[in-house]
Amino acid sequence: MTKVVHYINQFFAGIGGEDAAGSSPVRVEGAVGPGRRLQQLLGDELEIVATVHCGDDYASGSSDAIEEILALIRQDDPDLLIAGPSFTSGRYGLACARVAAAATQDGITSLAAMHEENPGVDEAGGAPVVRSGVAAREMGPSLETLAAAAAIVASGEPLTNEQGRLGRPRRQVVRADRSAAARAVDLALARLGGDLEATEVPLPRFEQVTPAAPVDDVGQAVVALVTEGALVPEGNPGRLESARATRWLRYSLDGVEILAPDQYGSVHGGFSTVWANEDPHRIVPLDIARELEAEGAIGRLHGEYLVTAGNGTSVANARRFGIEWAADLRRSEVRAAILTST
């Protein structure tokens, strides 16, 4: 019998919606929520011995969350970890991917399930990710795909793209039956004929982001300052990268009224930082924000500012930063953020 632990979020565990997004990890015996149907599909060879669930905000925003979740998973010494399906839910997808990646590094065979546009696809490390539907209304077929993939992964066989695995297949050297010149002419003729999708090198697609609605009463709102201008305390204590950032940092603003030039500076590698270092408020406008706070124009300034470097940052990391910032600010009851860029 193959022992399986199933990871899901607070919603599918029946704990609650956004009101429970900050809930910490919990282990429950047996299958829970969608895991019950998943168990039916897995049959007698794979048994869900436990379910671990965690709130989306906690899982994607707490630095200790993944290790806490992994500690609960280890209790059952499972043969297989299944995470999701998380569909297109960003926070849930990141949690599933990170849990699967951490479990894989810990020697536990793992599998995550999510939609191909979920930012978690790029976070799963060595763990395979299988395709799910867009939303929970497609739970049924998504679980069928997941169960079939789980059986393959549990058997030790590689999961292929034809079996639903997401991600680029391994590159293989093959001999083309036609020359590059002939193929190029065919592509040009296809374009001239109106086929704008014809290509031998598919490019990534970037989704459109719908802006949030304006804050009704900013005079009562907690407002945060966030930036991709890489403004950090003197000496760059968090070692933020100047380009191709893989992380973001937070720094306290409690009791700070101004950002003095000898105490803060930008480490951004994509523009001349002379003017930014001459007056750090050009990157993080704390001086004006404090004035607005004193006037009552905003309810309160958030006690930390969030920072990364937006210089050559990958789309996957930028998408992840956005999801993590949103989760972090939501927990702090921030209702609006001023994002300064360079």
When divided into structural domains, the chain yields a total of 2
pLDDT score of 39 = 97
Domain span including residue 292: 218-340
Q: Are residues 151 and 18 part of one domain? A: yes
Q: Are residues 137 and 21 part of one domain? A: yes
pLDDT score of 151 = 95
For residue 112, what is the domain's CATH number? Answer: 3.40.50.2300
Q: Are residues 155 and 231 part of one domain? A: no
Q: Which pLDDT tens digits describe the chain residue by residue (342 residues)? A: 899 999 999 999 999 998 899 999 999 999 999 999 999 999 999 999 999 999 999 998 787 999 999 999 999 999 999 999 999 998 999 999 999 999 999 999 999 999 988 888 888 888 999 999 999 999 999 999 999 999 999 999 988 888 889 876 555 677 889 999 999 999 999 999 999 888 887 776 667 778 888 999 999 999 999 999 999 999 999 999 999 898 999 999 999 999 999 999 999 999 999 999 999 999 999 999 999 999 999 999 999 999 999 988 877 788 889 888 998 998 899 999 999 987
The answer to whether position 197 is within a domain reads no
The answer to whether position 206 is within a domain reads no
pLDDT score of 172 = 64
pLDDT score of 303 = 96
Q: Are residues 158 and 15 part of one domain? A: yes
pLDDT score of 117 = 83
pLDDT score of 290 = 97
Q: Are residues 329 and 223 part of one domain? A: yes
Measured distance CA(141)–CA(133) in Å, rounded = 8
pLDDT score of 320 = 85
pLDDT score of 171 = 59
The answer to whether position 142 is within a domain reads yes
Residue 265: partners with Cβ closer than 8 Å, 6 or more residues away:
231, 232, 234, 273, 276, 277, 280
Q: Are residues 153 and 18 part of one domain? A: yes
Q: Are residues 32 and 130 part of one domain? A: yes
pLDDT score of 208 = 76
pLDDT digits (tens, 9 = 90+) for 67-113: 999 999 999 999 999 999 999 998 999 999 999 999 999 999 999 99
The answer to whether position 174 is within a domain reads no
Q: Supply the pTM of this predicted model.
A: 0.63
The answer to whether position 234 is within a domain reads yes
The alpha carbon torsion through 228, 229, 235, 240 (nearest 10 deg) reads 30
Q: Are residues 146 and 8 part of one domain? A: yes
The answer to whether position 58 is within a domain reads yes
